[in-house]
Amino acid sequence: MIDTRLESALSRFEPDEFTRVKAIAESATLDLLKGRGAGSEWLGWRRIVRDPDRDLLGAVRKHAEQIRSESDLLVVCGIGGSYLGAKALVDLFPDKQEDGLQVRFAGYHIGGSALERLIREMETPRPDGEEKRIHINVISKSGSTLETALAFRVLRGWMEKKYGSEAKRRITVTTGPDGGVLNPMVHKLGYKRFVIPEDTGGRFSVLTPVGLLPVAAAGLDIEALFAGAESMAAELERPDIRILTYASARYLLHQAGVSIDVVGSFEPELESLTAWIQQLLGESEGKEGKGIFPVSAAWSTDLHSIGQMVQEGRRNVMETLLVVDQPISNLKVPTDPEDSDGLGYLDGLSFHQINRTALEGTVEAHSEGGVPVVQIHLDRLHEETAGELIYFYEFFTAVYVYMLELNPFDQPGVEGYKKAMYRRLKMEGDGKK
């Protein structure tokens, strides 16, 4: 179950302001539900959940089981929406990897040393002395995104050198239905392929094979994940007070001059999830001089770095906290009869209790310091709840961005850096010929 707590964010606005803006949120919700808003050709993320392809889910699960049975290490090669959602889900459940397949991510930067370290890990024998068995999943709709394409060229060469003609069985391609760079490789070399739907953008693609294959290979229950998304989709088929209130609060804060949203959690397992939300919001709302800049933070760690800025810096900051209500761990503070560290007052308390108290104290201090705080509560950490949250945030993002009179599903500004980068790289390459 997903719950929103917005008292801190809404307390600075008059009731009539909220009522006025809530009507805008209702209109934006209907635009989304009826498919009449900007970018409505990109609503595949709704279609796949409202009309699930059970055969595809089965095929993904079957291939993932094969990867798990034949591999020790899965390297997922992608960038942006082609890896952030999968990493968020894999990192939510680290225990799934303790005794099974390990998942690593590549192709999301241009760091040669990091790629070399990954290859050394691939080449390091297992504890029993046997060679590691490797599988590569490259994810790119076009196949030509520089970071991913470079990494895949290196990794593909390594796989072909190690496995020869058998490399094709250990490389899976997730790409667009046709065109691009990767489809000709699939046809020529015989790689297993999964298709990214044409009507689903990268940051909304986690519930397609883009995210489902890596997380299934990591041992997660993708049927439960999808069931959670389906359940949330059914709840949101009519205007929902959680969406209306959250979108209205963010819109009012945007209008009031808030320009930074610190998205964090006190649970380390959720750190990658905040990075997924950072992309989802950032690419969706940052257009035409509008938008609140999302930045991912890890609490309580970052309270000792940027906590001072949040508490007493410029008052252009809001905070979004992801909270898990049921304990993730049962670890308790042991008793020290001598109380040598002065922590005797915590004897017997669970880390969950201490963490929750730290969260509550932080919310109190930041709210009193003038920071509006939004809390998004998950009742428990489970694949089904994760599916609910993914769909909830996708839906919320679309509604809120429609309120800003923007297209939530394009990212025209991304092309700016690419054009300049490729122009310079071609000049660099031509100069060495």
- Specify the pLDDT at position 429: 66
415 has pLDDT over 80:
no
Alpha-carbon span 346 to 200, nearest angstrom: 49
User: How much of the chain is helix, strand and coil, in % rounded to 5?
Assistant: 55, 15, 30
Rounded Cα distance, 352 and 282, in Å: 31
**Helix (H) / strand (E) containing 169:** none
Q: Which residue has the tokens 């190690």?
A: 162
State residue 432's pLDDT score.
64
Distance CA 195, CA 172 (A): 11
| 283 noted as active-site residue | yes
The catalytic residue among 230, 267, 271, 283 is 283
Half-sphere exposure of 358 (CA within 13 A, CB side): 18
State what percent of residues in the chain have pLDDT above 70: 98
383-403 vs 84-92: helix crossing angle, rounded to 10: 140
Local structure of 125: helix, strand or coil: coil
What torsion, rounded to 10 degrees, do the Cα atoms 281, 282, 287, 292 define? 80
Name residue 173's beta-bridge partners.
138, 193
- Is residue 51 predicted with pLDDT exceeding 90? yes
Instruction: Verify whether residue 304 is a known catalytic residue.
Output: yes
Mean pLDDT of 253-282: 97
Chain segment 269-308, per-residue pLDDT in tens = 999 999 999 999 999 999 999 999 999 999 999 999 999 9
Query: How much is the pLDDT for 8?
Result: 94
| Predicted confidence band of residue 217 (pLDDT cuts 50, 70, 90) | very high
User: Cα(173)–Cα(194) distance, rounded to whole angstroms?
Assistant: 6
Distances (CA, A) of 38 to 23, 46, 96: 19, 15, 40
Residues 151-180 pLDDT 10s = 999 999 999 999 999 999 999 999 999 999
In angstroms, how far is CA 155 from the centroid of its own chain? 24
Indicate the SS3 state at residue 407. coil
* CA 276/CA 210 separation, integer angstroms: 14
User: What is the strand order of the sheet 373-378 is part of?
Assistant: 2-5, 373-378, 317-324, 260-265, 293-298
Give the C-alpha separation, 326 to 338, whole Å. Answer: 32
- Report CA Rg, the chain: 23
pLDDT mean across residues, the chain? 95
Structure tokens at 314: 């410029």
Q: Return all residues near 418 (Cβ < 8 A) that are at least 6 apart.
A: 146
pLDDT at 222: 96
The residues, any chain, with a CB within 8 Å of residue 377's CB and separated by 6 or more, are: 2, 3, 4, 5, 323, 324, 325
Please tell me the predicted confidence (pLDDT) of residue 133: 97
Q: What is the DSSP string of 104-117?
A: EEESSS--HHHHHH
Mean of the pLDDT values across residues 37-48?
A: 97
Confidence label for 406 from pLDDT (cuts 50, 70 and 90)? very high
Catalytic residue among 187, 290, 418, 426: 418
**What is the DSSP-derived secondary structure letter of residue 166?**
G
Kindly tell me if the per-residue pLDDT of 428 is higher than 80.
no
Q: Which of 40-44, 296-300, 413-417 has the lowest mean pLDDT?
A: 413-417
pLDDT at 431 over 70: no
- Per residue in 318-373, pLDDT tens? 999 999 999 999 999 999 999 999 999 999 999 999 999 999 999 999 999 999 99
Q: In this structure, which amino acid lies at residue 187? A: H
Residue 1: HSE in the Cβ half-sphere, 13 Å Cα cutoff:
5
- pTM for the model stands at 0.95
Catalytic entry in 161, 188, 304, 432: 304
As given in the structure block, the two tokens for residue 37 are: 């808003």
In 34-93, which residue ranges form alpha helices assigned H by DSSP? 44-50, 54-70, 84-92
Q: What is the pLDDT of residue 315?
A: 95
* Residue 425: pLDDT band with limits 50, 70, 90: confident
Catalytic (active site) residue 377: no
Q: Predicted confidence band at 421 (pLDDT cuts at 50, 70, 90)?
A: confident
pLDDT digits (tens, 9 = 90+) for 101-137: 999 999 999 999 999 999 999 999 999 999 999 999 9
What's the Cα-to-Cα distance from 268 to each of 176, 242, 296, 297, 332, rounded to whole Å?
Answer: 33, 25, 12, 10, 17
